[in-house]
Amino acid sequence: MENSELVRRALAALRSEPRLGPTFKLDLIRMEPDGAALLEGEVETVAEKRLALERVAAIPDLNGIVDRIRVRPAAMMSDDGIRDHLRKVFALEPAFEGLRITEWDGENASEVRGATRDGEIEFEVEGGVVTLNGTLAGLASKRLAGVLAWWIPGSRDVINGIAVTPPEQDAPILVEEAVRLALEKDPLVDAAQVRVGVRGRVVRLTGWTKTQAMRAAAEADAWFVFGVDDVINDIEVGS
């Protein structure tokens, strides 16, 4: 496929998604030598990033996606500031008690906590992009680590490379549990008023919230969960 043909098909795919809107665009769409499509640009939300990746990935004859789409951060923060937040968040999270936590700054590693009983989380930050590695005992812990990283105001992307050992077979119920946990931990959401349903990797939110901001926060939390491909937000807003 020629680059011009890829760009044409990609633009058509992006425009076919009404939630992206007619003004949505990326800075760069290019065919790589190995047949993968490179996507680069800055978007407003994780939802826009995931939807753009999914729509372009559905184009026939592509050999994968090179993802360089970043999310505009909620607040401007230095990499040191993001690392400082991650250090505190991971160390204070009750579900991660007993984990070794290691922080990387370039080629330099420093232990935040040295316990090794239940696995390890390693994190590094470059250009606002958080990369997570290490080994955890379940998908729930991997997904929680990713959500916590997305919650850092300066995060522009989260690459969740944490390995699950022993390997765990994923299932819709596990995605549902992860979304529920994210909602319960989010102080901006009244999780008791939000219902979660999952079919495949598509999450549907129902129930009600007091404000539009709470409704948007609940949807964002669902998008933050590793493995979610789409979120249908049917939450009603009322007093």
Pairing of strands 120-126, 129-136: antiparallel
* Cα–Cα distance measured from residue 209 to residue 55, given in angstroms and rounded to the nearest whole number: 30
Q: Spell out the residues 6+ positions from residue 182 whose beta carbon is closer than 8 angstroms to its own.
A: 143, 144, 147, 221, 222, 224, 225
pLDDT tens track for 187-206: 999 999 999 999 999 999 99
Residue 31: pLDDT above 70? yes
pLDDT tens track for 40-78: 999 999 999 999 999 999 999 899 999 999 999 989 999
How far does CA 226 lie from the centroid of its chain? 6
pLDDT of the residue at 2: 76
Q: Residue 213 in contact with residue 233, Cβ under 8 Å?
A: no
Q: Would you call the peptide bond into 166 cis, given omega within 30 degrees of 0 as the criterion?
A: yes
The amino acid sitting at 189 is V
pLDDT of the residue at 234: 97
54 token code pair: 């999914």
The percent of residues above 70 in pLDDT, for the chain, comes to 98
pLDDT of the residue at 22: 84
pLDDT tens track for 99-132: 999 999 989 999 988 877 779 999 999 999 999 9
The amino acid sitting at 181 is L
> Which letter does DSSP use for residue 78 in this model?
-
